[in-house]
Amino acid sequence: ARASDHDTTVSIVRYGNVLYSRGSVVPLFVEQILADRSVTVTDPEMTRFLLPLQQAVELVMFALLEAEPGDIFIRKAGAATIGDIASATGAALGRNVAMETIGVRHGEKVYETLATSEELAHSEDLGDYFRLRMDTRTLNYSAYFDEGESRSTEDFHSHNAKRMTVSEITDMLLSLPEIQRIVDAA
């Protein structure tokens, strides 16, 4: 990413859970709800960032157009509790949901972090996105300690991000073609 004599720009995008993608909990919830089974949740208060595929694509396109070498782009996605995602999935399908808490899996985090406070202290706010620029500081830290800007912030994680309501999650789910096909077939 540091090479300045190349035409290739390397950058990274970070975002949360793309709804109905591989690894998303929503297809499992849909399967359980349609089979009239309890929805299994690890921890109903666990939080995750949510975004539809289109917003993930928009982030990648934005990064392709705006990236400079070494940039990291982060989507400011809303977050929700697993319990609210389960309830919203039931609401989208017109069904009541019974939840069964099965416990957090080994190594699973209670919330997701997309950017640390250290990264955000040097970030650029671009509206729907954060841009984290490549660290180009030298080993001369006197400028940092003597002249550096002091910004206090906290990590950007799914526990302190804008919390989506069950209604907002339901609307997002109903915008997905996979959910719409199920609703239309019912």
Every domain of the chain and the residues it spans: 12-185
Hey, what CATH topology would domain 12-185 get? Rossmann fold (3.40.50)
User: What's the confidence (pLDDT) of residue 115?
Assistant: 95
Partners of residue 183 on adjacent β-strands: none
CA dihedral 101, 107, 108, 111 (to 10 degrees): 130
- Tell me if 111 sits within 8 A of 47, measured CB to CB: yes
Distance from C-alpha of 138 to C-alpha of 144, rounded to nearest angstrom: 10
| Over residues 20-27, mean pLDDT | 92
Residue count of the chain:
186
Q: What's the pTM value of the predicted model, to 2 decimals?
A: 0.86
Check pLDDT > 80 for residue 3: no
- Angle, CA 66 vertex, CA 64 and CA 72 arms, to 5°: 80
User: What's the confidence (pLDDT) of residue 134?
Assistant: 86
